[in-house]
Structure 1
Amino acid sequence: MAGIAEPREITEQTKELRQAPAEDHFPPLGPLARRLERPEVLGYLMVAPALLLLIVLLGYPFIQAVWLTMLDKRVGVEGNFIGLGNYIDLWSDQVYRWTVMNTMIFTAVSVVCKVVFGLTGALILNQAFRMKNFFRGFILLPWIIPSVLSALVWLWMYDDTFGVISRTLIAFGLIEEKILWLSQWGIALTSIIIVNVWRTMPFFIVSLLAALQTVPKDQYEAAEIDGANLLSQFWNVTLPNIKHVLIIVTLFGTIWTMSDFNIIFVLTSGGPANSTHVFSTLAYQYALGAGKLGEGIAVSFTMFPLLFVIIFYRLYRMRRDPT
């Protein structure tokens, strides 16, 4: 009988321990521990190591770059402090003003084409048809290939002598003589835009395709019952549901396009006659080509205000419409 009562006693003791208040077993938290236990404080503590690493790796180089823009710094020569002299010289430079215009045209046209073609491709790939999974994977090929390698392929295709594009157009009777794709101002900039759109359009297609697949099917069914056609369904159902994703991919696309370097440098290096320079290629030419580090970094910094305006405008629009 004693052997039977023993487990019952252990069970009663266990119940008493479980029902005992927590402060009987753990010491109370001190003031500092209670502060650290707050969610807002704990969150800052968790991101503090990463933030410190970013400050060390990015903050110091950024401050150093700002200081160099205020010096008449050249490669191998100690620079003298000239304040805003580099920025003043840039605004009086015809090549720089031409570069600003080229950057605006290049960015605006490229981003608009990416949005239009990317959304069109996403709508097509969102439909049910045979081998759709194959095409969804195949469309990523331009995005996967390294940008320098793809630019070299396009350089061969645009070649004045051996280019396959001109040869194909002549063979079909669309043109009579070869086009100098990279040797004329308007055509050269257009050729670069085509390559840039081809290179990064898969990002738009895949991102918007993912957004399209989250649109509830019952909304389309309700729109059909109300007699809405395809255009009305796109405008009133599809677009509102993917609006925020569209804004985000457009924002990223604008930043990437404005700072693009590899494609332009491989195809034209800013030529012919500095007519296809953008901020990144002109900064490279000044800093590393001519050895003017101060002016080259100043060119890069003049791109920041425009990027900040675009970013904050997009964020402001998203805050105004939280739905």
Structure 2
Amino acid sequence: MAVATVTDWTRARPQPSWLARLLDYKPFLVVACLLPAVGLLTVFLTYPLGLGIWLAFTDTKIGRSGVWVGLENFEYLMSDPQFWSAVFYSIFYTAVATFGKFGLGLWLALLLNNHLPFKSLLRAIILLPWIVPTVLSAIAFWWIYDPQFSIVSYVFVDVLGVRDKYFDFLGTTWPARWSLIAANIWRGIPFVAISLLAGLQTISPSLYEAALLDGSTAWQRFRYVTFPLLLPILAIVMTFSIIFTFTDFQLVYAITRGGPVNSTHLMATLAFQRGIAGGELGEGSAIAVAMIPFLVFATLFSYFALARRKWQQGEAND
């Protein structure tokens, strides 16, 4: 009886099945968890991107399948003045709007980082331009810029009497371009301000106290404490801001539809006009594909700027 008891106690445990071992294998779990997300991204992002690139090398039109034409669409765009006008305005629009959003957004973030009455309410109010649907914002600006019913013109002409005639914001090229940039800046400031405010609140107050003890000025504290510690967040926020601004479609199309005389077309709106409204899917896709190098450059610029900052601080790159 004693021998039987010892034999049962020393009996080897059964080995786990292959399925149990597989579920305990960490690399398999990582792949299994990521596979649904990767599958969705492949279906909804990779496939449309691949189809767009394929169409850019064909002469496909709406209602008619095309044939492979190689670089013919791109060669045509290289000699198209309207395409180069859209490229110029896309770069100009992105550069000016991004700097405007960052200048005003950083100022607002620094202001809200101080001890102010009703600070939480102010933060909520500042978010309103960003959370309002883009089309509603565009309609509001379309009313502000209207040549007959503009509230700005009414104030300057009928109330203050400093002008004899109403402003024509959207009737000529450069006023229309600047008007769109102003609308984009107004809409994008909250995103930049709240993002930078979150970064400001991660900076330890002891750093500012030490700088004050050293007799630093407000500018020196910003230059040597605030800005270096905000730089990683600045790089990320700037990347998203550049991408959102360069690919802006709704605001421009709802306010001007590319006018007057196609002078306010961005590459995104021109691609839509040629590809969908005009039926030239191949040409519209070529314009959309031509946007990719600009977006890749903006992303790489931000990445290397962040990596350079980490290298200066002695941190390892991820």
Same fold (TM over 0.5): yes
Q: Are the structure 2 counterparts of residues 226 and 40 from structure 1 closer, same or farther at C-alpha, using a change threshold of 3 Å?
A: farther
Deviation at 1:173, TM superposition (A): 4.1
Q: Partners of 2:14 and 2:241 in 1: how far apart?
A: 54
**Partner of residue 308, structure 2:** 320
Deviation at 1:49, TM superposition (A): 2.3
Which one-letter code corresponds to 2:103 in the other structure?
V
Which one-letter code corresponds to 1:140 in the other structure?
L
**Partner of residue 43, structure 1:** 30
Q: Partners of 2:126 and 2:57 in 1: how far apart?
A: 46
Q: 2:284 aligns with which of 276, 290, 296?
A: 296
- Deviations along 1:110-135, one digit per CA (max 9) or x if unpaired, are 00001000000001111112111111
Count of aligned pairs: 302
TM-score of the superposed pair, with normalisation by structure 1: 0.88
User: Does 1:122 pair with 2:133?
Assistant: no
Contact preservation (8 Å) 2:134, 2:250: yes
**Partner of residue 8, structure 1:** none
Larger Rg: 1
Segments ≥4 residues shifted beyond 6 Å: 32-36
**Partner of residue 193, structure 2:** 205
Q: 2:237 aligns with which of 244, 249, 252?
A: 249
Q: 1:144 aligns with which of 116, 121, 131?
A: 131
Which one-letter code corresponds to 1:156 in the other structure?
W
- Deviations along 1:147-177, one digit per CA (max 9) or x if unpaired, are 0011101101111011101111223244332
**Partner of residue 183, structure 2:** 195
Q: Partners of 2:30 and 2:308 in 1: how far apart?
A: 26
Q: Partners of 2:139 and 2:294 in 1: how far apart?
A: 30
Q: Partners of 1:26 and 1:189 in 2: how far apart?
A: 75
Contact preservation (8 Å) 2:235, 2:303: no
Which one-letter code corresponds to 2:99 in the other structure?
V
Q: Which moved more, 1:297-306 or 1:37-46?
A: 37-46
Which ranges in structure 1 are unaligned for 5 or more consecutive residues? 1-19
User: Does 1:133 pair with 2:152?
Assistant: no
For residues 268-287 of structure 1, what are the structure 2 equivalents within 5 Å? 268-287=256-275
**Partner of residue 54, structure 1:** 41
For residues 1-323 of structure 1, what are the structure 2 equivalents within 5 Å? 25=13, 27=15, 37=24, 39-170=26-157, 171-322=159-310, 323=315
Deviation at 1:35, TM superposition (A): 7.7
Which ranges in structure 2 are unaligned for 5 or more consecutive residues? 1-8
Contact preservation (8 Å) 2:231, 2:306: no
Q: Which moved more, 1:33-42 or 1:297-306?
A: 33-42
- Deviations along 1:39-60, one digit per CA (max 9) or x if unpaired, are 4554233212221222123222
- Deviations along 1:51-81, one digit per CA (max 9) or x if unpaired, are 1222123222222222211111111123222
| Residue aligned with 2:68, SS | coil
Which one-letter code corresponds to 1:288 in the other structure?
I
Deviation at 1:95, TM superposition (A): 0.2
| CA-atom RMSD in angstroms | 2.1
Q: Partners of 2:298 and 2:169 in 1: how far apart?
A: 31
Contact preservation (8 Å) 2:104, 2:189: yes
Q: Are the structure 2 counterparts of residues 26 and 234 from structure 1 closer, same or farther at C-alpha, using a change threshold of 3 Å?
A: farther
Q: Are the structure 2 counterparts of residues 71 and 43 from structure 1 closer, same or farther at C-alpha, using a change threshold of 3 Å?
A: same
TM-score of the superposed pair, with normalisation by structure 2: 0.89
| Residue aligned with 2:224, SS | helix
- Deviations along 1:288-323, one digit per CA (max 9) or x if unpaired, are 221111101111110001110110121122223325
